[in-house]
Structure 1
Amino acid sequence: MMALGKRLWVEGVGTAWVVFIGCGSIVLNTGVVQQGYGVLEVSFAFGLALATASYAFGAISGAHFNPAVTIGFTVAHRFPVRDLLPYIAAQILGAIGAAALLAYVASGRPGFELTASEFAANGFGDHSPADYQLHSALVVELALSFAFVLASLMMAGRRSLRPIAPLVAGACLAIVYMVSIPVTNGSINPARSTGQALFVGDWALDQLWLFWAAPLLGGVVAGALFSLFCGKSGRHDASLADRQGEVA
């Protein structure tokens, strides 16, 4: 396993890539998603960003790029507890860096005002793209985070599929976003939500709790069920992409 410092650096860079590409597909195409178009484009942007980052960096850090994935692998005994908080911190810093870069790029558009823009932040109620309320947002984020983390764990346990695991993870994320974008603007990733919320402030920070609570709970449940039905492993694996590196 690579040194922790190198893995943290890669986790931050990979998370920044996913957030910048995914959120950039919303922010830099102003009005498209808000008018009911572009959900497929945004979903594929997030999915392809995850797949490319996983192929590029997975053998180094494990390609989590998401606190919910990290905590799911930890609960499933596939990731060391000692590295949990450092990984999450690196992911948050990467997402904040991506949001800062995106804000700088978006400021080059005439008339853009960050304070008046939703800036691809996640929300519910008046800040849901289709006005979905709290209970709908909670259920969607919880259920889809559970499914995404469980799928990642299942892929990690199947050696024959490891070479295509990043593609499957990317496809799974794209599908998840197709469903969640109309409801919450698509989170499933607390780091992604935090970076955008810090720049929007106000309502985005007030609602940020849901986009931590639901994905993390989904990851915990996925990890616990995987451990229960698939058994505990005495070996700690960083992720599905790390296992891919072993085959190669």
Structure 2
Amino acid sequence: MRTSGTTPATVQAYPLSTRVALEALASFFIVFAGLATALFSPTGSAATIGFAYGLALLVCLIAFGHVTNGYFNPAFSLAMAVAGRIKWLSMVLYVVAQTIGALLASVVLLALLKVMPAGATPETPKLFGALANGFDSHSPSQVPMVGVLIVEIVLMAVLVAVLLGATSSRNKSTMGPIAVGLAFAVAIVITMPLSNGSLNPARATSVVFLADSWAMGQLWLFWLAPLFGAALAAAIYRSFAPASAPAPVQEPVDGLVSSDTPEPATAPAEDDDESALPKPVPAVPAAKESPAASEAAAKKNDAQDFFDSKGK
């Protein structure tokens, strides 16, 4: 990264407090967009809700991805830490911020429902219970626990693979946020009829305090499965990286930043270093004339003198 010609510039990392705050803000927006669409959309179809989640994630990646690379989901943050992209302390703070942001989204929705006309919405536990993630009898399709566990692990592993590939320093494409957003939308559409769509532990936590008690009892799966799938995919991805080469500092990819390590500045050359000074160019010796060339030049001069003297 350079500014004003060839002067090198150092990429300064944003303060940790700024990154944590933006993780909370983005998590709030993503969860609010998905839950509000599920509550107020006339159709409430899986495709509509999945599109809302994916589009909200895409917007946040473009707007805030250059600041923080926790990517607004506890499973994504864990994957980035396992892959060596962020520090473990940052990951823990990101997860806390993301969960708080998701909880605030459900609180705002609750406040909105409280001011709606009486009878316009069901009772709060029943309403948020319909939004909570569940398995067995609480799954929209009565999917058993093992089935939901497998789906959450596999889809989160695929999402993490897409995320790590899109933010790789070797990937020069500018379509990274679009790829991640679309992949997340498709994954939500798949999981909606199975478990009400999660793939985000913060989103799963956001409604359990307002739903019936069963939601809290089943919350563990929607933390364990995404985190396990994310860590597994990140570990496999990292195992393919060259072991001898240091991890490169990666450039932003259309709003995505794959490392929170600032780019080192290029050290300028010392003025008194002889290696930095221009070397004198040795003189090239003149080529010797051959006898034939000298004789031809003499004849030419004699002919010129003859015509010059005749003209006088």
Q: CA deviation at 1:27?
A: 1.8
Q: Which residue of 1 aligns with 2:52?
A: 45
Question: Which AA in structure 2 matches 1:19?
Answer: V
Q: CA deviation at 1:119?
A: 4.7
Q: Which residue of 1 aligns with 2:124?
A: 114
Matches within 5 A, 1:1-248: 1-29=13-41, 32-33=43-44, 38-62=45-69, 64-107=71-114, 108=116, 110-111=118-119, 112=121, 113-117=123-127, 118-157=129-168, 158-161=170-173, 163-231=174-242, 234=247, 241-243=256-258
Q: CA deviation at 1:196?
A: 1.4
CA pair 231-201 structure 1, distance change in 2 beyond 3 A = farther
Partners of 1:59 and 1:244 within 8 A in 2 = no
Question: Which AA in structure 1 matches 2:99?
Answer: I
Q: CA deviation at 1:80?
A: 1.2
Aligned length: 240
Q: CA deviation at 1:167?
A: 0.9
Q: CA deviation at 1:219?
A: 0.7
1:91-136: CA deviation from partner (whole Å, max 9, x where unpaired): 0000001111112223325322111222521111121112111111
Partners of 2:79 and 2:230 within 8 A in 1 = yes
Partners of 1:78 and 1:238 within 8 A in 2 = no
Partners of 1:19 and 1:98 within 8 A in 2 = yes
Q: Which residue of 1 aligns with 2:282?
A: none
Q: CA deviation at 1:159?
A: 3.2
SS in 2 for 1:49: helix
More helix by share: 1
CA pair 244-217 structure 1, distance change in 2 beyond 3 A = closer
Q: CA deviation at 1:28?
A: 2.1
Instruction: Measure the CA separation in 2 of the matches of 1:155 and 1:54.
Output: 12
Whichever of the two has the greater Rg, that structure is 2
What is the aligned-residue identity percentage? 30
Partners of 1:61 and 1:238 within 8 A in 2 = no
Instruction: Measure the CA separation in 1 of the matches of 2:58 and 2:125.
Output: 32
Instruction: Measure the CA separation in 2 of the matches of 1:191 and 1:238.
Output: 28
Q: CA deviation at 1:231?
A: 3.9
Instruction: Measure the CA separation in 2 of the matches of 1:179 and 1:66.
Output: 18
Q: CA deviation at 1:230?
A: 2.8
After superposition, the CA RMSD in angstroms is 2.3
Gaps of at least 5 residues in structure 2 are: 1-12, 263-312
Which 10-residue stretch deviates more, 207-216 or 192-201? 192-201
Q: CA deviation at 1:73?
A: 1.0
Which 10-residue stretch deviates more, 41-50 or 125-134? 125-134
